[in-house]
């Protein structure tokens, strides 16, 4: 007996209608495909299908024609899916974008504002926002789904966005939308000496780990210059790790349609900023590593002697030297130093910055340039890799040098380094 027949056997009474079973065997696959396309969580999809078949059986006698069974069944499935998402809007995380939509966890107080706002919208606006943002359907897909012209979808979606924005608490609208392609920028060395500034950002993640702070930032690969990864980060309260108090940080990473959430615990002191713990998914399980886990943690997240962290007071030390196109630093150790003062023109604005260069902190094959303004905020972050190696999360892999031949290069301690990607944050938007 297949699953559809199982569904039809026990629903509080014995099914005796052969015609219903035959029609379900013939057209049930269409409803199953529809639900699985709409709902990615397998267990939830199974529950929705069960409810759909039960509902269809109990209303089977109201069907006028067997020829309309397929469309009738799918309409029931559609209603069940809509019910499912309406419930999730009140109890689960809802994605928001365009300066309106953020990733909101049920355990955060801001989720109340999201749920309350969604409840205030009319059904059509709420449905469009769900289809476009939650289910990530295109305008054309929504047009097919709702059986209306694509132009109508665009105008109604615009109206729904504006309606949400008017009703949503303005103090929550913090993160701005990143461009799909990085802005053209110009970097010019200045004659003035580098200024001193306080840099409180988490190294490599740009967030200042203090309660209430948030940031959105993205990675732009070269030579395409397109946005390949986006991170939405928020400090969500204090947390202690082995007796040391820090701030819990939630980061939602988005690559295309794929989303992943991870967590950090970080600590900002008067002199340093450091990681106390980090978590990531392995084989479907979130694993947490702390500063007491030795190399498993320190190799990726430990900075400075005994994980003291990166210094927050930035000033030139003379560790790294630049002469023309040649960059030199101590060959026996990693080095981080302010190497000069630069004007960065990006997104139509001029920034007076110092360049913090990092050689080997992340990996011996990695060099970064971080342009930081007088507020201690990153304006532009650039990454270079030694020779023809390309960093791919947890390992280096060789690639065809021709793939990088048009990218900018710098020479560090005699080694050619290829420009790989840039990062910008919503600070410059």
pLDDT in tens, 5-17: 444 433 443 333 4
Q: How many CA atoms lie within 13 A of 229 on its CB side?
A: 14
Q: Averaging pLDDT over each range in 168-177, 410-419, 420-429, which range is the top one?
A: 420-429
Q: How far is CA 386 from the centre of its chain?
A: 28
In percent, how much of the chain has pLDDT > 70?
A: 81
What's the rounded mean pLDDT across residues 332-350?
90
Q: Tell me how crowded residue 348 is: count the other CB atoms within 10 A of its CB.
A: 7
Token pair 């897909």 is at which residue? 141
CB atoms < 10 A from the CB of 101, how many?
22
CATH 1.10.1740.10 residue ranges of the chain are 3-89
Largest CA distance in the chain: 89
Centre a 10 Å sphere on the Cβ of residue 60 and count the other Cβ atoms it contains: 16
Under the banding of pLDDT at 50, 70 and 90, the label for residue 101 is very low
Written as six digits, the tokens of 408 are 């900018």
Give dist(CA 164, CA 172) in Å, integer. Answer: 12
Rounded Cα–Cα distance for residues 207 and 218 (Å) = 13
Locate the DSSP E strands across 223-325.
226-241, 244-255, 258-268, 272-282, 285-290, 310-311, 313-314, 321-323
Question: What's the average model confidence in pLDDT over 218-237?
Answer: 90
Of the candidate ranges 7-21, 164-178, 207-221, 344-358, the one whose mean pLDDT is the lowest = 7-21
The two three-digit tokens of residue 398, written as one number: 């060789």
- What gap in Å lies between CA 333 and CA 262, rounded to an integer? 30
Tally helices (H) and strands (E) across the chain.
9, 22
CATH T-level topology, domain 185-428 = YmcC-like fold (2.40.360)
Convert the pLDDT of each residue in 169-211 to its tens digit.
654 445 678 998 999 999 999 999 999 999 999 999 999 999 8
Beta-carbon neighbour count of residue 260 at 10 Å? 11
Is 80 exceeded by the pLDDT of residue 114?
Answer: no
Distance CA 322, CA 412 (A): 9
> CA geometry: angle at 253 spanning 283 and 223, to 5°?
110
Which residues are within 8 A (CB) of 337 and not within 5 positions of it... i.e. 6 or more apart? 316, 317, 318, 319, 320, 329, 356, 357
Q: Residues 6 or more apart from 366 whose CB is under 8 A from it?
A: 358, 360, 383, 384, 385, 386, 391
- Residues 217 and 201: their CA atoms lie apart, in Å, by 13
Among 82-96, 133-147, 363-377, 379-393, which stretch is predicted with the lowest mean pLDDT? 82-96
- Per-residue pLDDT tens digits for 321-336: 888 778 988 876 788 9
Whether 387 has a pLDDT exceeding 50, the answer reads yes
230-242: average pLDDT: 90
Please state the φ and ψ torsions of residue 205, each to the nearest 5 degrees. -130, -5
Burial of 232 (0-12, 13-18, 19+ CB in 10 A): buried
pLDDT score for 174? 52
Domain 3-89 in CATH 1.10.1200.10: no
Question: Worst-scoring range by mean pLDDT, 49-53, 142-146, 377-381?
Answer: 142-146
pLDDT at residue 342 in the model: 96
Chain region(s) in the chain for CATH 1.10.10.10: 92-172
Supply the pLDDT for residue 235.
92
**CA-angle at 238, arms to 236 and 242, nearest 5°:** 130
Question: What's the CA gap between 366 and 267, in Å, rounded?
Answer: 25
Q: Which CATH code fits 92-172? A: 1.10.10.10
pLDDT of 88: 66
Q: What is the structure's pLDDT at 29?
A: 81
Reduced to 3 states (helix: H, G, I; strand: E, B; else coil), residue 361 is coil
Residue extent(s) of CATH 2.40.360 domains in the chain: 185-428
Mean pLDDT computed over 17-26 = 76
Is the pTM here over 0.75, yes or no? Answer: no
């Amino acid at each position: 007996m297949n699953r559809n027949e199982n569904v039809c056997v026990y629903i509080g009474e014995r099914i005796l209608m052969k015609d219903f079973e035959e029609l379900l065997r013939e057209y049930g696959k269409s409803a199953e495909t529809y639900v699985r396309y709409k709902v990615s969580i397998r267990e939830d999809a199974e529950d929705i299908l069960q409810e759909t078949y039960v509902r269809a059986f109990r209303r089977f006698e109201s069907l006028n024609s067997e020829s309309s069974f397929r469309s009738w069944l799918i309409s029931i499935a559609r209603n069940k899916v809509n019910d499912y998402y309406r419930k999730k809007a009140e109890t689960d995380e809802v994605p928001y974008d365009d300066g309106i939509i953020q990733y909101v966890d049920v355990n955060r107080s801001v989720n109340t504002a999201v749920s309350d706002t969604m409840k205030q919208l009319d059904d059509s606006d709420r449905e469009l926002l769900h289809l476009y943002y939650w289910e990530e359907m295109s305008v054309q897909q929504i047009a097919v789904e709702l059986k209306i012209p694509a132009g109508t979808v665009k105008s109604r979606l615009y109206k729904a966005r504006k309606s949400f924005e008017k009703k949503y608490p303005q103090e929550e609208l913090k993160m701005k939308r990143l461009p799909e392609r990085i802005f053209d920028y110009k970097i010019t060395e200045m004659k003035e000496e580098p200024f001193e500034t306080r840099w409180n950002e988490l190294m490599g993640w740009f967030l200042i780990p203090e309660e209430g702070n948030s940031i959105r930032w993205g990675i732009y690969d070269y030579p395409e210059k397109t946005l390949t990864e986006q991170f939405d980060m928020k400090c969500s309260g204090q947390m202690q790790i082995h007796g040391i108090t820090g701030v819990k940080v939630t980061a939602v990473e988005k690559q295309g349609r794929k989303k992943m959430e991870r967590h950090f615990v970080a600590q900002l002191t008067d002199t340093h900023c450091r990681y106390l713990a980090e978590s990531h998914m392995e084989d479907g399980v979130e694993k947490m590593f702390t500063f007491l886990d030795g190399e498993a943690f320190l190799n990726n997240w430990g900075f400075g002697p005994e994980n003291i962290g990166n210094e927050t007071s930035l000033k030139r030390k003379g560790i790294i030297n630049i002469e023309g196109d040649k960059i030199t630093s101590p060959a026996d150790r990693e080095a981080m130093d302010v190497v000069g003062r630069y004007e960065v023109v990006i997104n139509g604005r001029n920034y007076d910055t110092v360049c913090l260069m990092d050689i080997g902190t992340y990996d011996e094959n990695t060099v970064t340039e971080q342009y930081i303004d007088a507020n201690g905020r990153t304006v532009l972050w650039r990454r270079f890799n030694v020779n023809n190696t390309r960093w791919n999360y947890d390992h280096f892999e060789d690639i065809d040098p021709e793939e990088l031949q048009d990218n900018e290069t710098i020479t560090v301690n005699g080694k050619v380094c290829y420009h790989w990607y840039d990062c910008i944050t919503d600070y410059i938007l």
